Structure 1
Amino acid sequence: MIGKLLTMQQLADQLSVSQRHIRNLMKDGAIVGINVGTVGRPSWRFGQVDIEAFLQRRRMVRPAQKPLRSSSKGALSPMIEVIDFHQRYRDNLAAKAEVRAKAKVKTEADQARRHSKRRSAKPDAP
């Protein structure tokens, strides 16, 4: 025997969900419904036995939580990294300035070397 049949709205109210959620559960095969309407205009009903079977499959026992360690010996300290973005930005600017300064010194040395080669290559005019 099927027992008392619930409409989709009654089932949605009983489970505190929307009718759309009930339809999605039906499409997924999680809950069984009975179409008492036509194919073009279904009118769904749900038996108490099917509802109980659905709830039993969905029942989940929450695992017991492990107690937090209170002793300092076994306690794990959380790993927290504090990032100072302003300092990181200043360090980045300083590194770029250092690279530019080295490049400038190298360029000046190259220019001085070329200049000295030009002077040595030119014969002195009489």
Structure 2
Amino acid sequence: MTRRAIISNETTKQREREGGTAATKGDQRLSQTTDRLLTPEQAAEFLAVSTRQLRDLADAGHLAFVNIGLGERPTRRYLPADIAAFIESRRVAPELREQARATIKSSTAFKIADFAALRDELRQKRRSKR
């Protein structure tokens, strides 16, 4: 499934949910589960990250997944709705980024040294000693 198809499918389902229908929570959960589950490779490609980074995001709890495995190790699949929610949660508005930069204060104070002036000062001290 292509990125455009996933977004289009998710947008359509979101519009249906917001369209004033009397859908219950159970109906919403059912509509989410009828979405096509994505493999880790497909989800990673959609997010433009590696499968390793996708797994790390899921392990850290930033990205929800569905465990379809029967054994000890999880067999992960991802809902397009969860991926869309993850993307939305990570969006950063440019003005907020600038405000955050403005509030960050440097913990180190440094001074730019004028080495030529320092050298000249040392030479003058040596000459005055002679």
Percentage of identical aligned residues? 30
- In the alignment, which of 33, 43, 46 is matched to residue 11 of structure 1? 43
5+ residue gaps, structure 1: 65-80, 103-126
Q: 1:87 aligns with which of 114, 117, 121?
A: 117
Runs in 1 of length 4+ with deviation above 6 angstroms? none
TM-score calculated relative to the size of structure 2: 0.52
CA distance in 1, matches of 2:40, 2:121: 64
**What TM-score do the two structures reach when normalised by structure 1?**
0.53
Task: Report the structure, 1 or 2, having the larger strand content.
Answer: 1
Q: How many residues align?
A: 84
RMSD over aligned Cα, in angstroms? Answer: 2.8
1:24 is matched with which residue?
56
Larger CA Rg, structure 1 vs 2: 1
Counterpart residue number, 2:91: 59
> 1 CA distance for matches of 2:71 and 2:118?
67
What is the Cα deviation at residue 97 of structure 1? Answer: 5.2
| Residue of structure 1 in register with 2:77 after alignment | 45
- Structure with larger RCO (C-alpha < 8 A, sep 6+): 2
- Give ranges in structure 2 of 5+ residues lacking alignment: 1-29, 97-110
Shift of 1:52: 1.8
In proportion to residue count, which structure has more helix?
2
Following superposition, the deviation at residue 10 of structure 1 comes to: 0.6
